[in-house]
Amino acid sequence: MSKTIAISNQKGGVGKTTTAAALASGLERTGRKVLLIDFDSQANLTMMMADQNPDSIPIGVADIMTKIIEDQPLAPMEGIIRITKNLDLLPSNIQLSGMENILVNALSRENILKMYVNEVKSQYDYIIIDCLPSLGMLTINALAASDSVIIPVQPHFLSVKGLELLLKTIGKVKRQINPELKIDGILPTMVDKRTNFTKEILGVLHESYGSKIRIFNSEIPLSVRAIEAGAEGKSIFEYDPRGKVAIAYENFTKEVIALERTRQKNTTNPIR
């Protein structure tokens, strides 16, 4: 069964794109077939994975959504870029920035991306959506199309404080649009355990949310290597395979796989 995961946080600079790329690469390394969807008009994921000039890409996610809105047929695998044997990318570019306005008058506007995901998900084990730093209609589309959400959170006061608004949005989407939507967990990113401030914020995070939401055991350390990997257009596993960031993301990938195995087991063998 295919699973779609949104990587979401309305605050920018918390490691969403790095996490989406690393999780997709980590899953691909285990033999899973993965599709990455760059759902941010800044196109950082596209620049990292495929093309340093995303505006030159002939077909991106905005073009696909426009075709769906206008009820035009899609060619099989249209717009998808092959990254490796088991990893594909649906790229983004600046055109996505105008999609919010287009969606205002679209029928079933919350479900446009879901219509696309439903068309291609049989081809993949996992679909990972890198969301933009916003809680607008595009993010709602990503949440409506997803089975679950992973929330990267930097151990910073404002990042933790902003979680409440994101959780309210996720809850609203679950109640009104996508009742199957789940929160897989919160992923601490850019963690610098050398500072007392970081330890205090992590403590607040666990105290405030740990009893209600899973907080992944894997903590992604602060490291310039992750930034360098993106600039080189490589996954962290290629760029620094023995580094602390690669090891942390490998452990995180294992947690995601284990979580899905447990969920499938519980679905197959419900408690009577």
Residue 203 pLDDT greater than 80, yes or no: yes
CB atoms within 10 A of CB 203: 12
> Which domains can be identified in the chain, with CATH numbers?
3-219+247-268 (3.40.50.300)
Residue 187 pLDDT greater than 60, yes or no: yes
Confidence of residue 157 (pLDDT cuts 50, 70, 90): confident
- The owner of tokens 């607008």 is 136
Residue 48 pLDDT greater than 60, yes or no: yes
21-47 pLDDT, tens digit per residue, is 999 999 999 999 999 999 999 999 999
53-87 pLDDT, tens digit per residue, is 888 888 999 999 999 999 999 998 999 999 999 99
What pLDDT does 135 receive?
87
Nearest one of 150, 235, 154, 233 to 192, comparing CA atoms: 154
The CA distance from 57 to 42, in Å, is 14
What pLDDT does 156 receive?
83
The CA distance from 18 to 240, in Å, is 14
Side by side, the strands of the sheet bearing 81-84 are: 81-84, 87-90, 34-39, 126-131, 3-7, 148-153, 182-188
To the question of pTM greater than 0.75 for the whole model, the response is yes
Nearest one of 46, 49, 53, 40 to 14, comparing CA atoms: 40
| Residues 148 and 126 sit within 8 Å (Cβ to Cβ) | no
Nearest one of 85, 24, 11, 21 to 48, comparing CA atoms: 21
Residue 182 CA from chain centroid, whole number: 14
Q: What angle do CA 217, 180, 172 make, to 5 degrees?
A: 90
What pLDDT does 272 receive?
47
Residue 270 pLDDT greater than 90, yes or no: no
What pLDDT does 232 receive?
81
Sequential DSSP letters for 128-163 = EEEE-SS-SHHHHHHHHH-SEEEEEE-SSHHHHHTH
- The owner of tokens 């199309």 is 145
What pLDDT does 266 receive?
81
